[in-house]
């Protein structure tokens, strides 16, 4: 990590696969994760510990986490909806656990069937459970502030409430919070404003990353705003697959290939070999022949004479 300017967290095996009809085989998931790690992707969210009846596409998450743990240098992340999910993630060996705290309470009730009060109780229980573990075995625990930029159900979301929930989560003892544009409503000015307010109220070290969607074409603009203000981790999905199945119309993660190209062209090191990354896309497309994949860089190819920051 010392030689990386911006950390890319690949969320395709979780956020991408949960939103498509195809159920990718466990072996294909393992091949995808191994290939992206070999391309230099430092962190991959490999699945979600939700009941298989809710999201059957991710029923094999425990096995996938255990496999990903065997890849040297890879930070293995997983999403959990509650304490039970966190227990399963801990047992499987995830390095990082994320839980969604939807600022839109309506979305929270649809997504995880819990109110704000109930979610904060779950977060508190998870913090206490992690503290019971030996110090060297504690996973990093992040709260993702979902629908922080707006909600397809409620509409505009109060920025004051975003900050209030961030403050409450940090007070409970989470390692950090993340801003999540679940519905693709966000714009660069809004992202900078929210980031500054959370830094002012929670401490700069408590907010490092953003999860952005490209639903309205603002994904890379928002990613650039995040870099400009000083955020250091950006989530993205290979081929731009995925979205939230409980937020109508929330398709369109940022395309990992386009994000890496932009950052590397700017002279920012991601640690990722972009040519190897483009080859991973072919592997995933072969495993998901019925699913559409997005991205301008894969279609156009790298510019003639392009020199990446990583490795230069």
> 202, 244, 254, 274: which is the annotated catalytic residue?
244
Report which of 227, 166, 174 is spatially closest to residue 199, judged by C-alpha positions: 166
Cβ neighbours for 74, distance < 8 A, ≥ 6 positions apart: 33, 37, 41, 42, 43, 44, 68
Q: Is 151 a catalytic residue?
A: no
In the numeric block, the tokens 């709260």 are attached to 143
Question: How far is residue 234 from each of residues 43, 127, 209, 254, measured CA to CA in Å?
Answer: 10, 24, 6, 9
Contacts of 132 (CB under 8 A, 6+ apart): none
In degrees and rounded to multiples of 5, residue 35 shows phi and psi of -70, -40
Question: How far apart (Å, rounded) are the C-alpha atoms in residues 311 and 78?
Answer: 29
Range 64-90 burial, b when 16+ CB lie within 10 A, else e: bbebbeebeebbbbbbbbbbebbebbb
Distinct helix (H) and strand (E) counts, the chain: 11, 8
Active-site positions read 244
């Amino acid at each position: 990590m010392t030689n990386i300017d911006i950390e890319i967290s690949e969320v395709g095996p979780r956020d991408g696969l949960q939103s498509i009809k195809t159920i990718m085989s466990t072996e294909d998931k393992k091949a995808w994760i191994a290939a992206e790690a070999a391309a230099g992707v430092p962190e991959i969210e490999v699945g979600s510990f939700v009941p298989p009846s809710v999201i059957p596409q991710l029923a094999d998450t425990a096995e996938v986490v255990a496999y990903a743990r065997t890849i040297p240098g890879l930070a293995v992340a997983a999403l959990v909806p509650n304490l039970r999910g966190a227990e399963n993630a801990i047992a499987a060996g995830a390095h990082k656990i994320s839980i969604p705290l939807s600022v839109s309470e309506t979305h929270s009730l649809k997504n995880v069937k819990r109110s704000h009060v109930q979610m904060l109780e779950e977060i508190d229980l998870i913090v206490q459970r992690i503290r019971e573990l030996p110090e060297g075995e504690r996973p990093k625990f992040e709260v993702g502030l979902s629908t922080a930029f707006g909600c397809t159900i409620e509409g505009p979301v109060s920025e004051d409430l975003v900050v209030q929930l961030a403050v409450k989560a940090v007070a409970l003892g989470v390692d950090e919070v993340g801003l999540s544009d679940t519905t693709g409503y966000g714009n660069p000015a809004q992202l900078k404003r929210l980031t500054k307010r959370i830094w002012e109220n929670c401490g700069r070290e408590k907010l490092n990353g953003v999860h952005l969607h490209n639903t309205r074409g603002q994904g890379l603009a928002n990613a650039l705003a995040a870099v400009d203000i000083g955020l250091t981790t950006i989530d993205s999905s290979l081929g731009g697959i995925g979205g939230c199945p409980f937020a109508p119309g929330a398709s369109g993660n940022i395309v990992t290939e386009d994000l890496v190209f932009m950052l590397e062209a700017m002279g920012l090191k991601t640690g990722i070999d972009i040519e190897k990354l483009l080859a991973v896309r072919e592997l995933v497309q072969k495993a998901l022949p019925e699913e559409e994949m997005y991205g301008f860089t894969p279609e156009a190819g790298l510019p003639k004479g392009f020199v990446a920051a990583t490795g230069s």
